[in-house]
């Protein structure tokens, strides 16, 4: 699973988040690194702060309103989104995200199936800072527009290259999907995309399209949890 979701967050909402983060307090990003904290050199908003929770709720709501994001993730639970800042020299060396995350405020725990990064800085505002994710096709590099999200399997090695100019702001989060298997989730996502592509061309009442839609929902019924 490796998906680029353009415009998951609108530009106006990106600016609102950036304005709010301008007055935020920052702490060592290694606090949320888990087993990979020695690889992490950046800053983050304190996860339990009121600002982080408010802005994180806005990010989660926006992502859940994005059909492309929901189709790819099929989310069951979202860990409260966090916010990170990479200044010159900051980086995140190759690592794999923790398999389980626990929320210190609520005690809730999730199985981490997917990780996502939502960019809040435009690519021309900083040099370096590329997100690199390893998948079955090799290394893939991302430096998307502000408001774009990159969604990938939490079991995939990933890194952020050193920032050499400017500041890279982003939100990052972890998700538990209704479908645990990456392979099964990819199949369901591809089927959903085919249905969405076919519907305006052949009409929603086409009997074969209804069959595909039935297969889509029955696969989620077989593989999914709620």
Look at residue 160 in the predicted model and tell me its pLDDT.
97
Note the pTM of the prediction, 2 decimals: 0.90
The dihedral formed by the CA atoms of 51, 161, 70 and 124, expressed in degrees to the nearest 10: 80
Q: Which class for 124: exposed (0-12), middle (13-18), buried (19 or more C-beta within 10 A)? A: exposed
- From the options 2.60.120.620, 3.30.420.40, 3.90.740.10, 3.40.605.10, give the CATH code of 2-177: 2.60.120.620
Q: What is the per-residue pLDDT for 36? A: 65
Residue 76, pLDDT > 70, answer yes
Among candidates 10, 135, 120, 132, which has minimal Cα distance to 61? 10
In 161-202, which ranges are E strands? 163-166, 168-177
Write the CATH number of the domain with boundaries 182-223. Answer: 4.10.860
The segment(s) of the chain belonging to CATH 2.60.120.620 are 2-177
Per-residue confidence at 34, pLDDT binned at 50, 70, 90?
low
Categorize the per-residue pLDDT at 105 as very low, low, confident or very high, splitting at 50, 70 and 90. confident
Instruction: List every span in the chain annotated with CATH 4.10.860.
Output: 182-223
Which pLDDT score is estimated for 3?
93
Q: Is the pLDDT of residue 166 over 90?
A: yes
How many angstroms separate the Cα of 32 from the Cα of each of 82, 94, 97?
9, 15, 10
Tokens 């061309």 -> residue: 201
Contacts of 216 (CB under 8 A, 6+ apart): 188, 191, 192, 195
Give pLDDT tens digits for 181-206: 999 999 999 999 999 999 998 987 89
**Residue 86 pLDDT greater than 90, yes or no:** yes
Q: Considering the chain, what is the average pLDDT of its residues?
A: 93
pLDDT at 205: 86
């Amino acid at each position: 699973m490796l998906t680029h979701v353009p415009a998951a967050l609108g530009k106006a909402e990106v600016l609102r988040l950036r304005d709010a983060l301008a007055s935020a307090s920052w702490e060592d990003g290694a606090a949320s690194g888990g087993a990979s904290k020695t690889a992490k050199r950046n800053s983050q908003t304190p996860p339990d702060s009121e600002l982080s929770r408010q802005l994180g709720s806005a990010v989660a709501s926006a992502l859940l309103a994005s059909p492309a994001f929901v189709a790819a993730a099929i989310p069951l639970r979202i860990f409260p989104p966090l916010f990170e800042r990479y200044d010159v020299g900051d980086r995140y060396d190759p690592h794999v995200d923790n398999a389980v995350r626990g929320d210190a405020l609520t005690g809730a725990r999730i199985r981490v199936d997917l990780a996502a990064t939502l960019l809040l800085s435009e690519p021309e505002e900083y040099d370096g800072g590329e997100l690199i994710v390893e998948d079955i096709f090799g290394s893939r590099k991302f430096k998307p527009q502000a408001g774009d999200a990159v969604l990938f399997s939490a079991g995939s090695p990933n890194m952020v290259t050193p920032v050499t100019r400017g500041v890279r702001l982003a939100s990052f989060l972890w998700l538990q999907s209704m479908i645990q298997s990456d392979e099964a989730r990819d199949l369901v996502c591809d089927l959903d995309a085919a249905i969405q592509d076919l519907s305006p061309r052949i009409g929603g009442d086409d009997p074969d399209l209804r069959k595909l839609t039935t297969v889509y929902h029955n696969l989620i019924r077989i593989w999914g949890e709620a």
